[in-house]
């Protein structure tokens, strides 16, 4: 079987995608932040409809994975969230997969190519 992943640098987006794809709330968290850059962390939880511990831990994990940036607002207790470029790419890939589009495997590194699937 031929491997299309040439180096560890090219596996970052794949690792991030596989690491978060199956977690509850991940797509919703990424979508809310993408649509509201600089959103307060607590406001994002309100829009998500929960302030439970699991989404809080997921946000911390997404920050560690480099998918979300967290900045301080007017005070240190106010935390603002936005997606990184990697976070935007992962969200685009998740949406493409859910929409039934194919992903060109040789371009995972800098940016994956998304194409409509040919169904036949």
| Residue pLDDT, tens place only, 55-104 | 899 999 999 989 999 999 888 889 999 999 999 988 888 888 777 776 66
The CATH number assigned to the domain with range 9-98 reads: 1.10.10.10
Q: Residue 76: which region, alpha, beta or left (left: phi > 0; alpha: psi -120 to 50)?
A: alpha
Q: Is 27 or 9 the better-scoring residue by pLDDT? A: 27
Instruction: Specify whether the CB–CB gap between 114 and 17 falls below 8 A.
Output: no
**pTM score, whole prediction:** 0.70
Domain boundaries in the chain? 9-98
């Amino acid at each position: 079987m031929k491997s299309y992943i040439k180096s560890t640098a090219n596996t970052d987006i794949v690792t991030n995608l596989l690491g978060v794809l199956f977690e509850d709330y991940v797509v919703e968290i990424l979508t809310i932040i993408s649509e509201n850059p600089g959103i307060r962390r607590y406001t994002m939880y309100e829009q998500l409809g929960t302030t439970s511990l699991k989404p809080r831990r997921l946000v911390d994990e997404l920050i560690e994975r480099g998918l979300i940036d967290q900045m301080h607002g007017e005070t240190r207790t106010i935390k603002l969230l936005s997606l990184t470029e990697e976070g935007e790419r992962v969200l685009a890939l998740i949406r493409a997969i859910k929409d039934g589009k194919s992903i060109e495997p040789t371009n995972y590194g800098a940016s994956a190519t998304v194409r409509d699937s040919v169904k036949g």
